[in-house]
Copies of this chain bind each other. A is one copy, B any other.
Amino acid sequence: MPKDATAPAPRPMRADARRNYNRIVAAAETVIAEHGAEASLEEIARHAGVGSATLHRHFPTRQALLEAVFKSRVEALCAKAHDLLSDTDPGTALVTWLRAVGAHAVANRGLGASLMRGARHGDPTLGNTCHTMIVSAGDELLACARQAKAVRPEATISQLLKLVSAIALATEEEPDGPTQADQLLNLALDGVRLHRTSRPHE
């Protein structure tokens, strides 16, 4: 039986079904890379050489398809978070990871939106696995950084991720998206205001 670790199959999927499933994900990857996450589902189906009904049967909602497409990248991000946990500087580790998340969100257009919609309370089972994965991975990093007093203690991982997602979402369609996103993230991390460093002169 052909092993593909990406899809757990309690009931074994029929061979042709799995073949089409993989085709659709591959097609979605390329089409989304070109047209963004709002790409036409029919075009994805056309590109995959299947009917639109097949696509909708395998992925009842667009979110489900995005999850399948982005799953490997999200796993890579989580792995990176785990690696960074052993970093000597938890603050820098967190920032590095957030920057990586932002870069991925800008590069894979719509990942940011996907992450945020994953936070929607509507579907408890469908389409929030990526979101919960990212949140739990980042939460550990944030906990370390907070313990090291490297970040503002009132900041939550949800807020940080939302901030990163928002920046990515806002810049992902710009010509120099990655550059702008990085600048904005730096600004947000360091703050816009200048606090008087030596003496608070209020």
Contact = CB atoms under 8 A, between A and B. Distances in A.
Given A152-B192, A169-B166, A183 B159 contact: yes
Contacts of A194: 91, 149-152
Contact of A190 (B152, B180, B198): B152
A196 interface: yes
A7 interface: no
Interface residues of A, number: 37
B199 A195 contact: yes
B195 A193 contact: no
Given A188-B187, A202-B202, A193 B95 contact: yes
A36 to B, nearest CB: 14
Contacts of A114: none
A170 B180 contact: no
A155 interface: yes
Identify the interface centre among A116, A184, A195: most chain B CB within 10 Å of its CB.
Answer: A195
Contacts of A162: 170-171, 180, 184
A197 interface: yes
A193 B159 contact: no
Given A152-B187, A155-B192, A170 B116 contact: yes
The 7 closest A-B pairs by CB, nearest first: A191-B191, A166-B170, A166-B166, A188-B188, A189-B192, A195-B199, A190-B191
Interface in A54-103: 91, 95
Identify the interface centre among A95, A162, A191, A195: most chain B CB within 10 Å of its CB.
Answer: A191
